[in-house]
A and B are shown apart, each in its own frame.
Chain A
Amino acid sequence: MVGAFDFAAAIPMLPFASFVVAILAGYFTPRLLPKGGAVPGIIATGGSLLLSGWLMVTVSGTEHYYNQEIYTWTTGLAGETFDLSFGLLLDPLSSYMLVIVALISFLVHVFSLGYMNDEGETGLPRYYAGLGLFSFSMLAFVMASNILMAFMFFELVGLCSWLLIGFWFREPGPPSAAKKAFLVTRFGDYFFLIGVVAIFATFGTGLFAPRGDELGFPQLTAEALSGEMAPVVADFLGTIGLEPQTWFALIGLLVLGGVIGKSAQFPLHTWLPDAMEGPTPVSALIHAATMVAAGVYLVMRMYGFYAQLPRILALIALVGGFTALMAATMAMVKREIKQVLAYSTISQYGYMMLALGAGGYVAATFHLMTHAIFKALLFLGAGAVIIAMHHNENMWDMGGLKDKMPVTYWTFLSGSLALAGIFPFAGFWSKDEVLYEALIHGLNDPILLLAYAMGLIAVVFTGFYTFRMVILTFHGEARTETAEDPGSVRWNVKFPLVVLGTLAATVGVVNMAPVKELTGWDITYLHHWFESGIQTVTLGEYHHLLESAAGYHAADLAPFLPAALSLGLALTGAGLAWILYRGPDPTAHTDKLGSIKTLLYNNYYQDEYQVWLAEGVTMPLAQVADKFDQGIIDGVVNTISSLALFSGSRIRRLQTGRVTNYAAMLTLGLVVIVLVVALIGGWF
C-alpha cells in the first residue's frame, strides 16, 4: 500500500526542486521564471505542507513510525566499523516539526511576493533559490535519522542563512552581518562536529532511535549507565579510561556547543540581532522555523540522551533562563522594530532551553510551536509596517498606524499578546507550561529554581518591551510625514498575517494544562501526541529517564498559582508600557535610565568583548604560533637546505672543466687506492 511514508522524501525534495528551478531558470531564461521564482517556491512549499500534514495524520492514526536508511554513502568494514548513511526518522516529533517548518516557509514565500516582488527588488531568482534551499535544509534536518546527517543539514542551514542575510550584498551592513552569523554559529558547530565524531567513536552508531535490532546512541547510553554496557562502548571507555558518566557529559557538552551557537544562546547570541540586516521575510524564516529552531530541535531529538545527564540539564536550564532574562532587558531600549523582535527571539529560545533543562519536554515543544507562529507573525507584521514606512525601521518615526493599516494592527496585536503571554493567546499556555515545569522541578533543585526565577523576571520585561513596541508603532499620533501617509499592502501580505494571527490566538488549545487540572477534561493533546512514538523515544521513557538517571522529581503543585503569577507579571509589564508610552506624543522614557540605558543599548558590550577576545587574545596567540611556525619549524628546514646549497657551491669548484685535471684526479685516485690496498694488504 502506498502511504505517506513513501512520499516523505518528497517533503524536502520539493523545495530543493524549486531551488534548482530558480537557480537554473534565473540564470538562463529569467523571463520565463514566473514572479522571479516565487511561484515555484510557493507551489513547492505548499506541496511540502500538504505532504507533512498527511504524514502527521498517518503517524497519529496508525501508530506506525518510519525509521529507515535510504542511502548509504560510505560502507564500513563489515563487523569492524560503521556505515555512514542518510536515513529518515518519521515519528511524532519530526512530523510535528515538519508541519511547522513547512507552514512557516509557505507563508514566508507568499509574503515575499509583497515584500520583494512588489517593492521592485532585483536579484529575485537568487532570493527565491536561497529560500528554497533554506527550506530544504531545514526539512531534511528535521527528518534526519542519524546525527551525522543532522550535522550536515545543520551546516547547510548555516550556509543558507549566510546567503540570505547577505542578500543585499552591495550595501556595507549585510555582508558583514552575514559573515558574523556564519562565523559565530560555526564556532559552536566546531564543537558539535567533535561531538559527532565522539558519538560515532563511542557508540559505533549515530542513530537517534532504534531501528530493528540496532539501538540508537541514546539507548546505548541508557544501557551503559544502567550497567549493561554494550561491548563496543565498554571497549572505547576502557581505551580512554574515563567514567561513562563523565564521558557522556562531555559529549553532551560538545553537542550543546552547536545548539548554543544556532539557537543564539548566551554567549553566542551576538550574531542574531545583526542578522536583521537581511530581508524581513528571511528574518521571519530564520527566527520562527529554520536556523534558530534547529538548535533547540536537536536537543529535543536527542532528549533521551540529555535526560540522563543531570549536570548538563542543569546547565541547559541555567543558560536558557539567563539568556531569556538578559535578552529581554536589552530588547527594552531598542529603537528599531526588528531589533526588539530579534532580542525577543533570543529571549524566547531561552525559555525553550529552560524548559528542556528543567525536564519539560512537552513544554519546550509546545513553546517552539507557538513561538514559531507568533514570531513569524510579528516579523511579517513588522515587514508590512516597513513596507508602509518605505523601509524606515525606527519606531520613533512611526506612531498612529493603527487606523491606517487595521489588518496589520489587529494581527500584530494578536502576536504581541501571544508573545507577552497574555491569557488566552497561544503564548500564555506555552510559556506558562515552561515556567510551571521549571518551578515544580526547581522546588527540589536550587539551580533550576534560580533558572526559573530568571525566567519569571523576564516575563515582566517581555510584557514591557512588547507593548512598548506596539504602542510606539501603532498608537499615538503620527510622528513623521511617512507615518501620516503610509504605503499600502496587498493581499499577499495580509493573507499570511491573517492565517498566523488566527493561529496565534487559538493554537494554545492543543495543550491547556491548567484547564485540564481545573475541569478534569482530557485536553492535553500534545502530551498524548508525544506519548506515542518509536519505543524508547517517547515522553514516557523521557520521564522515566529523568527520574531514574537524572534524579528529577516533580513537586506536587497545582498550576493555577504559578500561572496567575506569570500572567500578573506579564500584565504588569504591559501596563507599565501603556502608562509610560500612551498618549499622542510619548516621551523616550528609557533615556531616564542614563548609563544603564547606554549599557543595555550597547548589549552589555558583548560584541566589544568578543572582538577583544578575537583581536586581543586570539590574534597575539596566532602571531606567536606563526612565529614558531615560520621561525622554528620552517627555520630548521631552511637551515638544512641552505647548508647543503652552500657546501655544494664550494665543492663544485673541483669541477674545472679541463680534461687534464680530470685525468690527473683519476690517476691520483688510482694511486691512492693502490696505496691503501697495499697498506692494508701488508705488501710493504
Chain B
Amino acid sequence: MVVETQYYVLLSAAMFSIGVFGLLTRRNALRFLMSVELMLNAANINLVAFSAQWGNMTGQTFSLFVLALAAAEVAVGIGIILVLFRNFRDVDVTEPATMRW
C-alpha cells in the first residue's frame, strides 16, 4: 500500500507547527531543544517523502546529514543549558536577558 505524498506533507507541517508553538510558548530550555528537534525532523520527513516520490536518493542522503547535524546541535544545546543552569540555578530561557546592547 502506497501512502500518498500529501499525507506525509501534512504530517510534516503538523510537526513543524507543534515545534514552532513549543518554541514560542515554553520557557524551559529543554523543551526548547525538543521543539527544535521536532522542526528538524519535520523537515526530514519532507525530504524523505519527496525523495520517495521522485525515486531520487539525494533527499534521503540529505536527511542523514540533517540527523547528524541535529545530534551535534543537541550536544551544543545541552552544553549551553548546563552552563545556564550553573549560572542561574534554573533552565528558564527568559531569565538570562543581559546578552544584548
Residues of A that sit less than 8 Å from B by CB: 652, 655-660, 663-664, 667
Q: Which residues on the B side are within 8 Å of A655 (C-beta)?
A: 100-101
Q: Which residues on the B side are within 8 Å of A656 (C-beta)?
A: 97, 100
B20 within 8 A of A: yes
Closest 6 CB pairs of A and B: A657-B97, A657-B100, A655-B100, A652-B101, A663-B23, A659-B93
Q: A652, A663, A664, A667 — which one has the most chain B CB atoms within 10 A of its CB? A: A663
CA distance A516 to B13 in the complex (A): 124
B35, closest chain A residue (CB): A663
B20 touches A660 (CB 8 A): no
Q: Which residues on the A side are within 8 Å of B97 (C-beta)?
A: 656-658
Chain B contributes a number of interface residues (CB within 8 A of A) equal to: 13
Q: CB-defined interface of B1-25 with A at 8 Å, one 1/0 digit per residue?
A: 0000000000000000000100110
Q: Which residues on the B side are within 8 Å of A659 (C-beta)?
A: 32, 93-94
A667 touches B24 (CB 8 A): yes
A655, closest chain B residue (CB): B100
A658 touches B101 (CB 8 A): no
Q: Which residues on the B side are within 8 Å of A664 (C-beta)?
A: 24
Q: Which residues on the A side are within 8 Å of B20 (C-beta)?
A: 667
Q: Is the interface of B mostly helix, strand, loop or mixed?
A: loop
Q: Which residues on the B side are within 8 Å of A658 (C-beta)?
A: 93-94, 97
A657 touches B24 (CB 8 A): no
| A652-B101, A655-B101 known; A660-B24 Cβ under 8 A | yes
B32, closest chain A residue (CB): A659
B101, closest chain A residue (CB): A652
A660 touches B101 (CB 8 A): no
Shortest Cβ distance from A96 into chain B, in angstroms?
Answer: 79
B79 within 8 A of A: no
CA distance A657 to B97 in the complex (A): 4
Shortest Cβ distance from B22 into chain A, in angstroms?
Answer: 10
Q: List 12 A-B contacts (CB under 8 A).
A: A652-B101, A655-B100, A655-B101, A656-B100, A658-B93, A658-B97, A659-B94, A660-B24, A660-B93, A663-B24, A664-B24, A667-B20
Shortest Cβ distance from A658 into chain B, in angstroms?
Answer: 5
A657 touches B99 (CB 8 A): yes
A657 touches B27 (CB 8 A): no
B53 within 8 A of A: no
Q: Which residues on the B side are within 8 Å of A657 (C-beta)?
A: 96-100
Q: Which residues on the A side are within 8 Å of B99 (C-beta)?
A: 657
A659, closest chain B residue (CB): B93
Q: Give the contacts of B83-101 with A (CB-CB under 8 A).
A: 93-94, 96-101
Residues of B that sit less than 8 Å from A by CB: 20, 23-24, 27, 32, 93-94, 96-101
Number of interchain pairs (Cβ within 8 Å): 28
A660 touches B100 (CB 8 A): no
A671, closest chain B residue (CB): B20
CA distance A421 to B96 in the complex (A): 100
Shortest Cβ distance from B30 into chain A, in angstroms?
Answer: 13
CA distance A667 to B20 in the complex (A): 8
Shortest Cβ distance from B79 into chain A, in angstroms?
Answer: 16
Q: Which residues on the A side are within 8 Å of B24 (C-beta)?
A: 660, 663-664, 667
**A657-B97, A659-B93 provided; 12 other pairs, C-beta below 8 A?**
A652-B101, A655-B100, A655-B101, A656-B100, A658-B93, A659-B94, A660-B23, A660-B93, A660-B94, A667-B20, A667-B23, A667-B24
CA distance A459 to B92 in the complex (A): 106
Shortest Cβ distance from A664 into chain B, in angstroms?
Answer: 6
CA distance A655 to B100 in the complex (A): 6
CA distance A207 to B28 in the complex (A): 88
CA distance A656 to B93 in the complex (A): 12
CA distance A664 to B93 in the complex (A): 14
B27 touches A660 (CB 8 A): yes
CA distance A652 to B101 in the complex (A): 7
CA distance A657 to B98 in the complex (A): 6
B20, closest chain A residue (CB): A667
CA distance A656 to B100 in the complex (A): 7
CA distance A196 to B93 in the complex (A): 75
CA distance A664 to B32 in the complex (A): 13
A648, closest chain B residue (CB): B101
Shortest Cβ distance from B58 into chain A, in angstroms?
Answer: 25
Q: B23, B27, B98 — which one has the most chain A CB atoms within 10 A of its CB? A: B23
Q: A652, A656, A658, A667 — which one has the most chain B CB atoms within 10 A of its CB? A: A658
Shortest Cβ distance from A476 into chain B, in angstroms?
Answer: 91
Q: Which residues on the A side are within 8 Å of B93 (C-beta)?
A: 658-660
Shortest Cβ distance from A459 into chain B, in angstroms?
Answer: 85
CA distance A655 to B99 in the complex (A): 9
CA distance A320 to B94 in the complex (A): 90
CA distance A656 to B95 in the complex (A): 12
Shortest Cβ distance from B62 into chain A, in angstroms?
Answer: 21
Q: Which residues on the A side are within 8 Å of B23 (C-beta)?
A: 660, 663, 667
Q: Which residues on the B side are within 8 Å of A667 (C-beta)?
A: 20, 23-24
Q: Which residues on the A side are within 8 Å of B101 (C-beta)?
A: 652, 655
CA distance A655 to B93 in the complex (A): 15
Shortest Cβ distance from B45 into chain A, in angstroms?
Answer: 19
Shortest Cβ distance from B9 into chain A, in angstroms?
Answer: 16
Shortest Cβ distance from B101 into chain A, in angstroms?
Answer: 5
Q: Which residues on the A side are within 8 Å of B32 (C-beta)?
A: 659
Shortest Cβ distance from B99 into chain A, in angstroms?
Answer: 5
Q: Which residues on the A side are within 8 Å of B27 (C-beta)?
A: 660
Q: Which residues on the B side are within 8 Å of A652 (C-beta)?
A: 100-101
B21, closest chain A residue (CB): A667
CA distance A120 to B16 in the complex (A): 101
CA distance A652 to B100 in the complex (A): 9
Q: Which residues on the A side are within 8 Å of B94 (C-beta)?
A: 658-660
Shortest Cβ distance from B91 into chain A, in angstroms?
Answer: 12
CA distance A660 to B97 in the complex (A): 10
CA distance A659 to B101 in the complex (A): 14
CA distance A656 to B99 in the complex (A): 9
A663, closest chain B residue (CB): B23
Q: Which residues on the A side are within 8 Å of B96 (C-beta)?
A: 657
CA distance A660 to B32 in the complex (A): 9
B99, closest chain A residue (CB): A657
Shortest Cβ distance from A299 into chain B, in angstroms?
Answer: 70
Shortest Cβ distance from A59 into chain B, in angstroms?
Answer: 81
Q: A652, A656, A660, A664 — which one has the most chain B CB atoms within 10 A of its CB? A: A660
Shortest Cβ distance from A142 into chain B, in angstroms?
Answer: 70
CA distance A485 to B101 in the complex (A): 87
Shortest Cβ distance from B92 into chain A, in angstroms?
Answer: 10
B24, closest chain A residue (CB): A664
Q: Which residues on the B side are within 8 Å of A663 (C-beta)?
A: 23-24
A668, closest chain B residue (CB): B24
CA distance A658 to B96 in the complex (A): 7
A652, closest chain B residue (CB): B101
Shortest Cβ distance from B37 into chain A, in angstroms?
Answer: 15
Shortest Cβ distance from A113 into chain B, in angstroms?
Answer: 76
CA distance A659 to B96 in the complex (A): 9
Shortest Cβ distance from A445 into chain B, in angstroms?
Answer: 82
Q: Which residues on the B side are within 8 Å of A660 (C-beta)?
A: 23-24, 27, 93-94
